[in-house]
Amino acid sequence: MRGENKDQNQMKNDLMKLPRPTISEMTWVWLPLQQKEMSGKRALFLQHVAQTSGMPLGIEVSHASGMYIYDTRGKKYLDFDSGISVSSLGHCHPIVVKAVQRQAETYMHTMVYGEHIQSPQVDYAALLASTLPHGLDSVYFVNSGSEAVEAALKLARKVTGRTEIFSCARAYHGSTIGAESLRSDYDFSRHYFPTVPGVRHIVFNDISQLERITEKTACLILEPVQAEAGIIPATQTYLQAVAARCKETGTLLILDEIQTGFGRTGSLFAFQRYGICPDILLIAKAMGGGMPVGALVASHALMQQFAHNPALGHITTFGGHPVCIAAALATLHILLNETYIQEVETKSQMIVDRLQHPLIQSVRSAGLMIGVELTDAGLVNNVVNEAIAQGVLIDYFLFDDRSFRIAPPLILGEEHIIEGTDKLLHALETVYKNR
Ligand code: PMP
């Protein structure tokens, strides 16, 4: 009941009685919460901070630095998840922290969405555009990946005057109602019906389905590597056929690089290795170096649609907040000037090569997005729990319950690869012996 102050022991007992979560609940982890004494913060967290699963992981964060997150009991966790592909430069990169501090002292919110001229936004947009093909020269800053998706769908409808939208089966594009409408998993989305009308699904990597895209289609949105489906890269021929079909039918191609962007797959953006160019590119997650920000990038002509007839086509109070963009600018400078992106493939290969265990069925990778499929889906939960207990953070996938996810910061060194994979192998062995 609201306002009720539950006794800590009672709460702990209640927690112990709860059933172990199933993988389909996309749980966080059960064990750590069970094992720890309930601190005051923990009890207040459970009571007052909204959660999205019955069993939150509940690591009480003390601080984070580089490759590690530390809890309030002094336990150190090697981050092999990056908060799902966010902390690509690790935690609290000193240059990013400095940029945030400097900007916070200079000005914070004044007015965004292209009204005031704010130097972090201008410098960022110009720098980003200089790394992208000619048609991607205008940046609309938003707060998150989902908001970038929403704005892109709006833009596609306005530009084409069409309503039909295609997305791929087992894609994930965000949690707001428009983004959620793109999900093919009706068992999930039916709880939120009615979703946006006009959405249809095609099977990813199946060229024969592309003929369903016609002159009635406003846009096709897809990820170059399907992340939540368990790391499924698009084939070269598929993405080229996608781009050709979109061109032929006047359909806008929206590439969601929210998870694949900023070097994670071994190039600044994954599409750059496919010989295609989207009409709209969506970015977020690692963009802000740990600060919340996203953007859609398109041609100046396309983006002008938000400014005219009617004006204010998409507006957002905080999108492109100068402190976040200062962090994003520092992050982009680091990624462009250091060799982290060039090292992605070698580091990925080292991790993949070291992951040899009878419980492992296969390992799929796209740079430092790695999906490890087990021989027994029923053991994924145990392996994730055991790995976290060993002090290495890994994660689940939304739509692949046979695999666990590895997505470490790009800054990881050989010593972290050895530490992380040793701990993972130990976790696998423990689960193997106790199965
Ligand atoms: N698209 C993809 C591919 C994603 O992975 C995510 C987030 N997991 C989103 C969109 C939504 O981003 P956000 O959570 O910032 O709204």
Q: What is the pLDDT of residues 76-103, one digit of tens each?
A: 999 999 999 999 999 999 999 999 999 9
Protein residues with CB under 6 Å of any ligand 1 atom: 84, 144-146, 149, 172-174, 223, 227, 256, 258-259, 284
The Å distance, Cα 259 to ligand 1 centre, comes to: 7
> Rounded to an integer, what distance in angstroms lies between the CA atom of residue 345 and that of residue 287?
20
Residue 300 CB partners (closer than 8 Å, separation 6+): 137, 138
> Rounded to an integer, what distance in angstroms lies between the CA atom of residue 349 and that of residue 365?
9
What does the pLDDT average to over 283-290?
98
The Å distance, Cα 173 to ligand 1 centre, comes to: 5
Under the banding of pLDDT at 50, 70 and 90, the label for residue 28 is very low
Nearest CA to ligand 1 atom 7: 174
111 pLDDT higher than 90:
no
213 pLDDT higher than 50:
yes
Nearest 5°: phi and psi at 65?
Answer: -155, 130
38 pLDDT higher than 60:
yes
- pLDDT of 324 reads 98
Nearest CA to ligand 1 atom 1: 173
Under the banding of pLDDT at 50, 70 and 90, the label for residue 9 is very low
> Rounded to an integer, what distance in angstroms lies between the CA atom of residue 104 and that of residue 85?
25
pLDDT in tens, 377-410: 999 999 999 999 999 999 999 999 999 999 999 9
- pLDDT of 100 reads 98
4 pLDDT higher than 80:
no
The single-letter code of the amino acid at 284 is A
The Å distance, Cα 94 to ligand 1 centre, comes to: 26
18 pLDDT higher than 70:
no
Region for residue 114 given its phi and psi (left: phi exceeds 0; alpha: psi -120 to 50; beta: otherwise): left
Atom of ligand 1 nearest to the CA of 260: 3
Nearest CA to ligand 1 atom 8: 174
What does the pLDDT average to over 143-150?
98
Residue (of 176, 189, 124) closest to 148 by Cα position: 176
The Å distance, Cα 168 to ligand 1 centre, comes to: 15
What does the pLDDT average to over 342-370?
98
> Rounded to an integer, what distance in angstroms lies between the CA atom of residue 239 and that of residue 410?
25
> Rounded to an integer, what distance in angstroms lies between the CA atom of residue 204 and that of residue 226?
8
25 pLDDT higher than 70:
no
- pLDDT of 217 reads 98
- pLDDT of 10 reads 46
What does the pLDDT average to over 344-356?
98
- pLDDT of 1 reads 27
Nearest CA to ligand 1 atom 5: 259
- pLDDT of 2 reads 29
Give the C-alpha distances (Å, rounded to integers) separating 255 from 151, 272, 315: 13, 11, 21
37 vs 369, more confident: 369
- pLDDT of 281 reads 98
Enclosing H/E stretch for 70: strand 68-71
What does the pLDDT average to over 44-52?
93
- pLDDT of 37 reads 55
What does the pLDDT average to over 305-312?
95
The Å distance, Cα 228 to ligand 1 centre, comes to: 10
Ligand 1 pocket test, pick from 180, 259, 296 with the greatest ligand atom count within 8 Å of Cβ, gives 259
Nearest 5°: phi and psi at 85?
Answer: 65, 30
Express as a percent the part of the chain with pLDDT over 70.
Answer: 91
